[in-house]
């Protein structure tokens, strides 16, 4: 994976996470202060914070894409492998981390938010249930609204068809 190797190598104090195509260096407010492409090793600063890498991490700023790729492609070493749970849809997912809680990151580079990650599996199941219930409520309400809209549109269509019929009869 290499996100932790990269973080340790350049002594990055910001939050480092890993997505499918990029590694992100961010803060609690802005997750993409710096984005590193996993395929090219190219470092791109957020347009609002253009000088962050140069000021905070000059070694990263000066590193070649090849050097960055070598770090990214290195297997990360972790001091601990604590089990943590999260959810996605109807699935409870077990992951590993070095430390629990926000702003820590799972071994696979996912930021652990306080309301979606926990060492307590039953807590995560409860969150997942609450999220699914909220989804069911939302889509039931949306469906009811759309059915109401559909009924209104059908009624308006009947009126317009009747108007058209009357007007055509007058034109003959």
Same domain, residue pair 170 and 91: yes
> Where are the alpha helices (H) located in the chain, listed in sequence order?
3-9, 52-56, 58-62, 65-72, 121-170
- With contact defined as beta carbons under 8 Å apart, do 75 and 51 qualify? no
What is the number of structural domains in the chain?
2
* Owning domain of residue 60: 3-72
Same domain, residue pair 10 and 60: yes
For residue 172, the model assigns a pLDDT of 86
Sheet containing 22-26, strands listed edge to edge, beginning at the edge strand earlier in sequence: 15-18, 22-26, 34-37, 43-45
Same domain, residue pair 34 and 86: no
Model confidence at 62: pLDDT above 90: yes
Model confidence at 1: pLDDT above 80: no
Q: What are the tens digits of pLDDT across the range 80-103?
A: 999 999 999 999 999 999 999 999
pLDDT above 90: percentage of residues in the chain:
95
- With contact defined as beta carbons under 8 Å apart, do 61 and 67 qualify? no
Model confidence at 52: pLDDT above 90: no
Q: What is the mean pLDDT of residues 139-166?
A: 97
pLDDT category of residue 107 using cuts at 50, 70 and 90: very high
Same domain, residue pair 106 and 167: yes
Q: What is the mean pLDDT of residues 56-83?
A: 96
pTM tops 0.85, yes or no: no
Residue of 21, 64, 57, 51 whose CA lies nearest to 39: 21
Q: What are the tens digits of pLDDT across the range 6-42?
A: 999 999 999 999 999 999 999 999 999 999 999 999 9
Same domain, residue pair 105 and 57: no
For residue 103, the model assigns a pLDDT of 96
């Amino acid at each position: 994976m290499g996100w932790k190797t990269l973080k340790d190598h350049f002594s990055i104090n910001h939050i480092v996470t890993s997505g499918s195509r990029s590694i992100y260096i961010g803060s609690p407010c802005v997750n993409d202060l710096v984005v590193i492409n996993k395929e090219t090793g190219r470092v791109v600063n957020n347009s609002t914070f253009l000088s962050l890498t140069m000021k905070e991490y000059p070694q990263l700023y000066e590193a070649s894409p090849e050097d960055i790729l070598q770090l990214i492609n290195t297997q990360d070493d972790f001091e601990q492998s604590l089990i943590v749970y999260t959810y996605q849809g109807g699935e409870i997912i077990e992951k590993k981390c070095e430390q629990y809680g926000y702003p820590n990151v799972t071994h696979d580079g996912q930021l652990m938010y306080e309301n979606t990650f926990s060492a307590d599996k039953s807590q995560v199941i409860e969150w997942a249930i609450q999220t699914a219930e909220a989804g069911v409520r939302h889509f039931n309400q949306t469906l009811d609204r759309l059915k109401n809209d559909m009924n209104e549109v059908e009624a308006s269509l009947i009126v317009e068809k009747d108007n058209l019929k009357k007007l055509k009869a007058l034109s003959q």
